Amino acid sequence: MPSLVDVIIPHYKGRDKFLSCLTSLFETEYDDFRVILVDNCSLDGSAAEAEGLYPQMKVIRMEKNRGFAGGCNAGVEISDREFIALLNDDTEVEPDWLTKLIDVIESDEKIAVVQPKLRWMIDKSKFEYAGAMGGMMDIFGFPYCHGRLFETSEVDNGQYDWVDDIFWASGSACLFRRQLYIDAGRLDEKFFAHQEEIDLNWRLQLMGYRVKAVPQALVYHYAGTTLPPENFMKKYMNHRNSIMLLLKNYQLRTLCWVLPIRIFLELAAVFLAVKQRDYKRIVAIFRGGLWNMTNLPHMLKARKFVKRIRKIPDQVILDRLYKGSIALQYYLFGKRTYLQLFPVDKKEVKGEIK
């Protein structure tokens, strides 16, 4: 008997892409899944239109826009199923995407979350930006992916086509064990949007669970529909939230040496932004740093929670992260792909991460 799944879609804007997402989703070849639409105060009537087209869909109407994190949490609050899938409203799924994800997550009770292959809707030969073939991170909190480093997305030639351990599964499309999502503290709504899934995936690993990429499951994603790359808020939240990741999840002895280097890298990013006349990024970096300083009470409370659930020391986590700076490798040394960072045949070393 198939496992019961709720697919949760937070929605704010973008009628046409959203309705295309639902069209593909309701063609999913899986016997028992429900769709929970979280209407994050959309103003274009698209949520009501979707409800009319798909009356079997559960709709939650929020009183205020709680962002992607809050929308997902609201969906989880009413779910009673074993698994929850989070899905962006500008994606389109292949019919067997859910079956492929379920097959892998059910193969091992220590797997907490899985991610499909994510290709770009604009050019379906390429990996998309937000998750590609699975998320990774360097020790200083800069995220990257199998298939995407900063602005460079690779053409998908099957170079990552095996089920593999990753550090984080993209919130664009992923499948969680619902109870573990709750036990790990849910998505932190302080993030609002961007990198909140990295935070939750990190905590799940601190609890002793694993995260997997499943290339046999395929989802297409526009990416950047709500916030395009040049948007100030996107730059701001990326800088702000990646520092928050470190402040919340590293043990103090690790944070004492990682954070000063990260601050230096932020200042280097300011220098680069000045050179590029990217004044939005300059303001975003300083504003993000100020936000983290003024929200230390939240960090301290979060650190207490992490300490309570932690079963894995930082040394194990550090072994799963890139030991240097992805930013320096990309901008100074011209490394543009994951396999340029790790120039080995991964098919020969595709063992589990520790």
Percent of the chain predicted with pLDDT > 90: 88
User: From CA 75, how far away is CA 87, in angstroms rounded?
Assistant: 11
5-221, what's its fold? Spore Coat Polysaccharide Biosynthesis Protein SpsA; Chain A (3.90.550)
pLDDT recorded at residue 130: 93
Q: Please state the domain extents for the chain.
A: 5-221, 232-311
Confidence of residue 294 (pLDDT cuts 50, 70, 90): very high
pLDDT tens digits for range 78-125: 999 999 999 999 999 999 999 999 999 999 999 999 999 999 999 999
pTM greater than 0.85: yes
Secondary structure in 3-state letters for 212-232: EEEEEEEEEECCCCCCCCCCH
Average pLDDT of span 165-185? 98
User: From CA 110, how far away is CA 207, in angstroms rounded?
Assistant: 10
pLDDT tens digits for range 301-348: 999 999 999 999 999 999 999 999 999 999 999 999 999 988 755 444
For strands 143-145 and 152-153, give the pairing.
unpaired
CA–chain centroid gap for 289, Å, is: 22
Q: How many CA atoms lie within 13 A of 130 on its CB side?
A: 31
